[in-house]
Structure 1
Amino acid sequence: MNAPTGRRIRVAIVFGGRSTEHAISCVTAGSVLQAIDREKYDVVPIGIATDGRWVLEADDPDRHRITGPGQLPAVDGERATVSLTRTSAGTGLVVSEPSAPPQAFGEVDVVFPLLHGPWGEDGTIQGLFEMSDVRYVGSGVLASALCMDKAFMKVALQAAGLPVMPGTTITAREWADQQMVVHLRCQELGYPLFVKPARGGSSIGIAKAHGPDDLAAAIEGALAHDPKVLVEVSAEGAREIECGVLEDLDGSVEVSVPAEIRITGDHEFYDFEAKYLPEEATELDVPAILDEDTRLRMQTLAADAFRAAGCEGLARVDFFLMPDGSLVINELNTMPGFTPLSMFPQMWAATGLPYSDLIDRLLTLALQRPTGLR
């Protein structure tokens, strides 16, 4: 699909959302708004407020930045509301303000959903786009939902014969009714353990339990973000290394050079502050310093995981490189961050695909991919 002759391709950049990763989605959107090719694309920023309202947001990258500790951006829910409408002519936007009748805002050619976490990265908004018959960047409903739920993602990867960390899943009901059983299951895994919301991201709600005394607080902290919690064996002594995966127009996949995150200072693991606040002490090796055999094994596993989960468009595959040289898949992210500090664009830049070209490639692929069963 191409835009009609005589006009630029219209891209709706959707960001914000109802999840705890609202602010990070806004930061990602600001980065894309800054870098997208304005000569080729007519950009419409659409923000989803924390209460779920869709609004026509400011096309201002500086408004969507982290300006300091505790100063996180957010969608302005008081702006004019916007909705997708499906007509015989295509899918368009309608803008509504309290003092005026609804106004047609024009057709949308493709959506770039820069949403992280539930109600955006988990297949929900992908289903809306499918029903609206509008093309969009990234994985479809099933792969988005599967990779958002880390517990089911592990099941799918294990079924494909891919290595994952041992773990157990705990629901809010189990924790309320069977705490002793939960403690025993965790004891069998062996401490230390990582406790995380099963459907979260950006390291929000994650804690490390060094022993039984830490477990209750860690589980309750994760349950504050998600009624389903994943407890995993800590990859002690492992290196954290990531690969970016991109789908090609012919359906094949390409894997970036790997990159490594090294935590310094007072951070015990790659938490929210280490990821997103510039003054925090993290060091990145892009590309990671690896021997050739390890690099090739990692890139092969990344492509295998992408296919096993049914991903489309893009994904970031996170690994633990264990002290014995074995590789374990930590997780897949179907909409990895695009912030200035994010690994995904840095890995592709190091592979030879600059940020603006990466955005263009994703949009080109989305425009050529049909909606519906495929």
Structure 2
Amino acid sequence: MRKRIGIIFGGNSVEHEISILSYIQISHAINREQYEILPIYLTKTGSFWVGPHFDELKTFQKAKFKHYEVVFYQKNKQLRLGGLKYLPRRYRKPIDVILPVVHGRNVEDGSLAGYFRILNATYASCDVLPAAILQSKIHTKKMLEFVGIPTIPYHAITNSAYMEDSSNILQTCECLAYPMIVKPVSLGSSIGIKIATNRDELEKAIIYAFKYDEQIIVESKLDDFQEFNQAVLETDGSYILSEIEEVKTENSFLTFADKYLPATSSRTIPAEISESLAGLINETSMMVADHFKIRGISRIDYLYDRKSDTLYVNEINSIPGSLAFYLFEDKISFTDLIDLLIKAAIRAKYRDDLKINSFQSLVLSSTRLLKK
């Protein structure tokens, strides 16, 4: 019997549309003889929808399309969907595995993982804590610093602190020296990012970034650098590394267009780099995966400073766009990659279920707790 896979995509995130594209790619690559898929669209307002033709991009290009609003519930240790109104029977069958292909704040940040942990579902991605840490550039940097992995020098700023004393904060940031790069803390896909080469540009970049997030970081902008990506697939506590990719752009940093409109950037897979640098990237990726307890597929983005011969971890994506399948293609087909991901999630859930999650006591029958 085929396993039924609920694929979650969408969400209240600035990367909503990228998530839809990721789902469409996965729906076309998954082995339909082995898996029955149930696409579940998470709207920008937090509702779950199912419906016909969800594996077609043109469905989501319409302002309105046929759908049924649903809720999740557990029955007889099986995850199911219920309709707020009428729901056809084909949508009500048990779901074996939840495969999330969501990106960005409010979904990839552990929110969705926590929701499905409460429902005791099999979830094919990072658990709550790693996902939450990795969504925050500040917490990711602090963790990297703690384990001795280089990260680009930065200052973290909250909106309230900046409103209270912007002059002092600007002066502190200028200790990094220009140019600088300003980023929202919890966004991805290069959204909300600007370069500052003087104080006026720095002020404007900070104000712009605060439109997207309550916390931002200001980093030193590298001058002579290369950008590399590598994905990691976790299976039973072991890690499979993808090829290393080098990404080049004529822009001062990798923009949203560079990431999702291929004509604006060039990619070399595998990267044409020295054995020593490739070895360092591989070693660092394994360290990152182990220290952050990554599950599922993640992608690690690197910046290599040629002047100082230093490799920096720039960002770690717990659910990368398209599951970074293209980085594995020389080793594992997209179809097989999805299969490995699903089977690893099932085995991980089996191990989790062996843990003791309850404790019987006489606390509720004790009257002493009620005495003043």
* TM, length-normalised to structure 2: 0.89
Q: Does the alignment pair 1:47 with 2:41?
A: yes
How far off its partner does 1:325 sit? Answer: 2.6
Q: Which residue of 1 aligns with 2:28?
A: 34
Q: Deviations over 1:268-317 (max 9, x none)?
A: 32111121124x32100000011111101110001101111221122111
Q: Does the alignment pair 1:211 with 2:198?
A: yes
How far off its partner does 1:62 sit? Answer: 3.4
Q: 1:75 to 1:124 in 2, by over 3 A?
A: farther
Distance 1:326 1:361 in 2: 34
Distance 1:40 1:13 in 2: 15
Q: Which residue of 1 aligns with 2:258?
A: 274
How far off its partner does 1:26 sit? Answer: 0.7
Q: Which residue of 1 aligns with 2:17?
A: 23
What aligned pairs does 1:143-182 form with structure 2 within 5 A after superposition? Answer: 143-182=130-169
Q: Deviations over 1:304-354 (max 9, x none)?
A: 011112211221111111113321111111000008xxxx2121113x111
Equivalent residue letter for 2:247: I
SS, match of residue 178 in structure 2: coil
Q: Does the alignment pair 1:246 with 2:233?
A: yes
Distance 1:27 1:295 in 2: 30
Q: 1:60 to 1:303 in 2, by over 3 A?
A: same
Distance 1:94 1:189 in 2: 54
What aligned pairs does 1:91-110 form with structure 2 within 5 A after superposition? Answer: 91-97=79-85, 100=86, 105-110=92-97
What aligned pairs does 1:112-191 form with structure 2 within 5 A after superposition? Answer: 112-191=99-178
SS, match of residue 204 in structure 1: coil
Q: 1:268 to 1:9 in 2, by over 3 A?
A: same
Distance 1:195 1:73 in 2: 32
Q: Which residue of 1 aligns with 2:360?
A: none
Among 263, 272, 295, the alignment partner of 1:312 is 295
Q: Deviations over 1:113-148 (max 9, x none)?
A: 111011211011101111111111111000000000
Q: Which residue of 1 aligns with 2:57?
A: 63
Equivalent residue letter for 2:310: S
Q: Deviations over 1:242-283 (max 9, x none)?
A: 11111123x11121221000003xx332111121124x3210
Equivalent residue letter for 1:63: L
Q: Does the alignment pair 1:346 with 2:326?
A: yes
* 8 Å Cα contact 1:197/1:222 also seen in 2: yes
Larger Rg over CA atoms: 2
Q: 1:122 to 1:64 in 2, by over 3 A?
A: farther
Distance 1:91 1:64 in 2: 29
Distance 1:59 1:302 in 2: 38
* 8 Å Cα contact 1:14/1:45 also seen in 2: yes
The runs of 5 or more residues in structure 1 that have no matched partner are 1-6, 66-71
| Aligned residues between the structures | 351
Q: Does the alignment pair 1:263 with 2:249?
A: yes
Identity among equivalent positions (%) equals 28
The runs of 5 or more residues in structure 2 that have no matched partner are 356-372
SS, match of residue 290 in structure 1: coil
* 8 Å Cα contact 1:29/1:64 also seen in 2: no
Q: Out of 125-134 and 140-149, give the one that drifted further.
A: 125-134
SS, match of residue 287 in structure 1: coil
More helix by share: 2
Q: 1:273 to 1:108 in 2, by over 3 A?
A: same
SS, match of residue 109 in structure 2: coil
* 8 Å Cα contact 1:13/1:113 also seen in 2: yes
* TM, length-normalised to structure 1: 0.89
Distance 1:289 1:18 in 2: 38
Q: Which residue of 2 aligns with 1:357?
A: 336
List 4+ stretches of structure 1 deviating above 3 A.
57-62, 72-78, 100-104, 371-374
How far off its partner does 1:58 sit? Answer: 4.1
Q: Which residue of 1 aligns with 2:358?
A: none
How far off its partner does 1:56 sit? Answer: 0.6
Q: 1:174 to 1:62 in 2, by over 3 A?
A: same
Q: 1:64 to 1:187 in 2, by over 3 A?
A: farther
SS, match of residue 201 in structure 1: coil
Distance 1:73 1:326 in 2: 44
Q: Does the alignment pair 1:81 with 2:69?
A: yes
